[in-house]
Structure 1
């Protein structure tokens, strides 16, 4: 799941490209040839080099990356983007992510919102929240923002 696969139609959010995302679990897929997959992929999948399948926790990791992207207005790991034509640079990004490194919060982002996406991209999949908790926390942050405006 990445930002290019999220569509809005008649005020409804839709996710596309499920057929392509299913292919990611197959070992024959070369992650190095697919930057979008690297940026949004669970470190456990990158570490397993395609020998592990996606889980709900993997999807929660991607949600965390998307939430960071929303707050920043930038593609994740954009500082690597211009250099990623080189295979060694892609390996550097994979290594960076596998080691637990993530994008830094954007100044001015509400701390409760930062906590949500940082919990989602926790290095340990079993410590990531489920989607119900993420939605509940996002609703709480939205309510706080609305109350602060009023």
Structure 2
């Protein structure tokens, strides 16, 4: 089935027969995006009872890390919607990732330059 915090919650809801698909992958991607910004495992799964975590996945989502780019937060929140039809598709995810402008969203970015140096905010 997969690692519980990354599994589409529709798959865990025994009341509804459900087959994993692309929207399931988008859900997992959203959880992974949150994990990247938090540097933490979702729902602290490693130390918790899997049955409790399963119930939480059906009902709650992790809180965004305060310093995270606001557009990125909205992106991963759309990815991990409970209802698959409300989730972004991969084309929408790609467009949103391309549109994130770190300078206008209070996030610092480090870019690699061809001259071999590292610059902040692309300068």
The normalised TM-score by structure 2 is 0.77
In the alignment, which of 61, 72, 86 is matched to residue 113 of structure 1? 72
**CA-to-aligned-CA distance 1:110-145 (integer Å, 9 cap, x gap):** 11100000000011110111001001101111xx11
Q: Could you list the structure 1 runs, at least 4 aligned residues long, displaced by more than 6 angstroms after superposition.
A: none
1:145 is aligned to: 102
1:19 is aligned to: none
Aligned CA RMSD, in angstroms, stands at: 2.1
Secondary structure of 2:77's counterpart equals helix
Say which structure, 1 or 2, has more relative contact order (CA 8 Å, 6+ apart): 2
User: What's the offset of the Cα at 1:52?
Assistant: 2.7
Within 1, Cα distance between the matches of 2:51 and 2:41? 18
The normalised TM-score by structure 1 is 0.64
In the alignment, which of 21, 46, 69 is matched to residue 81 of structure 1? 46
**CA-to-aligned-CA distance 1:82-126 (integer Å, 9 cap, x gap):** 2x3xxxx21111111112x01110110011100000000011110
Secondary structure of 1:113's counterpart equals helix
1:17 is aligned to: none
User: What's the offset of the Cα at 1:146?
Assistant: 5.4
Identify unmatched segments of 5+ residues in structure 1. Answer: 1-23, 25-35
User: What's the offset of the Cα at 1:48?
Assistant: 3.0
Within 2, Cα distance between the matches of 1:126 and 1:133? 13
Identify unmatched segments of 5+ residues in structure 2. Answer: 109-120
Higher share of residues assigned helix:
1
Within 2, Cα distance between the matches of 1:134 and 1:109? 17
* Map 1:6-45 → 2, pairs under 5 A: 24=1, 37-45=3-11
